[in-house]
Amino acid sequence: MIRIANGQGFWGDWLEAPRRLVEGGPIDYLVLDYLSEVTMSILEKQKRRDPSKGYATDAVALAAALMPKLLGHGIRIVTNAGGVNPVTCAKAILARTKAAGIRGAKVAVVLGDDIGDRIDEMVSRGVRFDDIETGRKIGAIRRNLLSAHVYLGGFPLAKALSTGAQVVIAGRSTDTALTLAPMIHEFGWGERDWDRLAAGTVAGHIVECGAQCTGGNCSVDWQSIPDMANIGFPIVEAKQDGRFVITKHPGTGGRITVASVKEQLLYELGDPTAYLTPDCRADFTSLRLRQDGGNRVAVEAVRGGPRPPTLKTSLTYAAGYQAVGTLVYSWPQAIEKARAAEAMIRTRLDDLGLEFQEVHGEVLGAGACHGPAAAPSHDPPEVVLRMGVRAAERSPVERFTREMVPLVLNGPPTATGFGEGRPRVRQVVAHHASLLPREEIETSVEVHE
């Protein structure tokens, strides 16, 4: 059996979790999942401003601080913190480690996911990059393309683990691959061990969002979940035959039940009979869950099938500009004041003749989240008017940012919450996903020590 813990569900997750996992009890692997499509967009913008950036910087200080524990106890980190600049991330970790006087550290980097410099060549050979949701051709966004990556599976990461590195860094891998890779490495699973690969994929899916499977963001009897301030992050106890248990360190907060695991299983789930990854097809309807004692859920009988012939790509492109601003209105008639303010702003934007792709307004506290399904809110103590605009050019968005704060003096009464001044104009980075024949991709491992 091996114990694989996940200490980060996204870039910005609880900073204390990884350290507590390493110090709170025995684990063999620490998974740190930092990436999402939005995060990749942020990292790409950072790298364009500064070529030494483009990775999850939190991972650098964390890996260096934990390196003595990794070396002393044989714990290994597997992470996608590399983002769009994994080699620089690895070098930064080793520089920090060396500065702390620690010797013997080794970092392995998985390469091959970045296809940005190959797009034109592949298109010239007839490779298609049609968006899988809209059918949009890549020609429509090529001029504004910012980055292009392909999702890698667990086998390239397992190859990196075979180097003996204490830290394995990938760029754009699937979230589930981070947990699956140690199982492939430790148990020697082959590329056609569909059921076992599917089991490892399901395990990765359950823990990929960190404490979301241990009671965080859980809708089942959430008021009674103990000690949420010290919530324990998940640990997978995996066996070679594919069976595994979801648990956490003793004495930590949160709660692991069949219900909490089921909620996470439904996360981002399309066809439950065919959850597709680069490694296999996992059938979520085949598995069985059972409570295996306190804060332990056993997962068994996972079935899988052949992997798809394609890999999913993640392309980002510049798609104009946006700005979002807020104002707070207080009782009485808070809702009416907010809606009157929205109408004023819309009228003024129309009078200016500005062209927007979208103007959106919502009143938080008056059904903005649930719409017509929300309970009636006749006269709440306060509400928040949130308005946003998006346009192809920056200038109309910039003009919008000057229209909200004036309402403090010349709009409906009781406006407040404007201390930060004008909203910020931000570039919109949009996402284009397509499918690429897997034979187009070759991965490699680069070791730094």
DSSP 77-108: EEE-TTTT-HHHHHHHHHHHHHHTT-----EE
Tell me what pLDDT residue 338 has: 97
**Stated pTM of the model:** 0.94
Domains with residue ranges and CATH for the chain: 2-113+151-308 (no CATH), 320-430 (3.30.70.260)
- Quick one: how far is CA 106 from the chain centroid? 26
Q: Which residue has the tokens 């690969």?
A: 197
> What is d(CA 414, CA 341) in angstroms, rounded to the nearest whole number?
11
Tell me what pLDDT residue 384 has: 97
> What is d(CA 85, CA 238) in angstroms, rounded to the nearest whole number?
31
> What is d(CA 141, CA 143) in angstroms, rounded to the nearest whole number?
6
The radius of gyration of the chain's CA atoms, rounded to the nearest angstrom, is: 24
Tell me what pLDDT residue 377 has: 80
User: What tens-digit pLDDT sequence spans the chain (449 residues)?
Assistant: 999 999 999 999 999 999 999 999 999 999 999 998 888 888 988 888 899 999 999 999 999 999 999 999 999 999 999 999 999 999 999 999 999 999 999 999 999 999 999 999 999 999 999 999 999 999 999 999 988 999 999 999 999 999 999 999 999 999 999 999 999 999 999 999 999 999 999 999 999 999 999 999 998 899 999 999 999 999 999 999 999 999 999 999 999 999 999 999 999 999 999 999 999 999 999 999 999 999 999 999 999 999 999 999 999 999 999 999 999 999 999 999 999 999 999 999 999 999 999 999 999 999 999 988 988 888 999 999 999 999 999 999 999 999 999 999 999 999 999 888 899 999 998 899 999 999 999 999 999 99
Nearest residue to 260 via CA among 303, 301, 231: 231
- For 282, the token pair is 């996992």
Q: What region does 301 belong to: left with phi over 0, alpha with psi -120 to 50, or beta?
A: left
Q: Which DSSP string do the residues of 331-364 spell out, in sequence order?
A: SSSHHHHHHHHHHHHHHHHHHHT---SEEEEEEE
